[in-house]
Amino acid sequence: MKTVSPGTTIFWGILISLGISCLFMLATYSMDVNWLKYILCFGLPFAFFISGFTTIAATQEGLLTIFGERQRTSISEGVCWLPPFMDVLIYNCKEQTYNIDETEILSANRISIKLKLSFNWKIVDVYQYSNLDGNVIVKGLSELVLNELRNECTNLNDTDLINSNKTFVDGIIESCNRTSENKWGIYITEIFVSAIKPSTKNMQNYYESSSKIKEIAEDSATLARILGISPKEALDKYARERMKVKSIENIYSLPEISQITSLIEKLIKK
């Protein structure tokens, strides 16, 4: 799609207005009424030129229309000039964030994992974007992200997924953009996965059981004594080495972590 700068439109506005002025000069050459001649030759072209200005704000982009028909031409931000038979549809091209509700996916070993995620997107082709309602496009984009996420996660088991550093989202972004850019004129810049944790009731019961918490606390207390580290550091080390997760926050909530840490402190003092 072609993009025109505002300066170019103003240049053409000046040329068109001068052309109109010259035509009136030729048409009124033999007129004896000087004041009418000045109005026609200078006043009307000037009014025509002044009335054609419009402003496209920062982070916005305009789609040019001629007699209401959309053109494959956009106008970048700034003050531009348009004749009466042209108009511009203005779109916000600023990067925006869309949050997806917590969702569950199946890992490669058929364990249900719960995720929270969001993504940043922006318009890169206003003509393509104008083909559908913006809300419909964003809804379709969120479904595309979820489908690609499910496909990507089928290659990871539950432990690898919980322990992942989220680099797998790069492949999801690339795959989504191959579809979204050509189909809707939008581009995903970032995908953020804010939480990855087991969601099946059996796994939650296993991790939340008093016997499992006691076992974690006892082993972490032993690590703390041997290595001379704090209860929280011992708990994080246990999570990485025994539970094979990147962080204890992947498994437990903050209140639960506080409870386990307090138990570790009591065991160390014994």
pLDDT computed for residue 202 by the predictor: 46
Same domain, 7 and 33: yes
With 0-12 / 13-18 / 19 or more C-beta atoms within 10 angstroms meaning exposed / middle / buried, residue 150 is middle
Give pLDDT tens digits for 14-26: 999 899 888 888 8
Same domain, 167 and 102: yes
Give pLDDT tens digits for 164-174: 656 677 888 88
- Report, as an integer, the average pLDDT of 133-143: 87
Domain endpoint, select from 198, 219, 236: 198
Same domain, 16 and 56: yes
CATH (domain of 122): 3.30.479.30
Average pLDDT over the chain, rounded to an integer: 82
Number of Cβ atoms within 10 Å of the Cβ of 187: 17
| Residues whose CB falls within 8 Å of the CB of residue 71, separated by 6 or more in sequence, listed in order | 63, 64, 65, 127
Q: How far is it, in rounded angstroms, from Cα 67 to Cα 86?
A: 6
Whether the pLDDT of residue 88 is over 60: the answer is: yes
Q: Say if CB 76 and CB 5 are below 8 A apart.
A: yes
Same domain, 103 and 174: yes
Same domain, 12 and 36: yes
Q: Say if CB 59 and CB 77 are below 8 A apart.
A: yes
Give pLDDT tens digits for 212-258: 788 888 888 888 888 888 988 888 888 888 776 777 777 777 888 88
Same domain, 64 and 125: no
Position 61 confidence tier, pLDDT thresholds 50, 70, 90: very high
Same domain, 167 and 103: yes
Give pLDDT tens digits for 169-215: 788 888 888 888 888 899 898 888 766 666 555 455 545 567 778 88
Domain endpoint, select from 198, 230, 259: 198
Same domain, 17 and 81: yes
Q: How far is it, in rounded angstroms, from Cα 242 to Cα 201?
A: 21
Count of domains in the chain?
Answer: 3
Whether the pLDDT of residue 4 is over 80: the answer is: yes
Residue 120 belongs to what domain range? 96-198
pLDDT computed for residue 199 by the predictor: 59
Domain endpoint, select from 198, 217, 243: 198
Same domain, 136 and 210: no
Same domain, 100 and 191: yes
Same domain, 167 and 184: yes
- Report, as an integer, the average pLDDT of 124-147: 88
Same domain, 191 and 105: yes
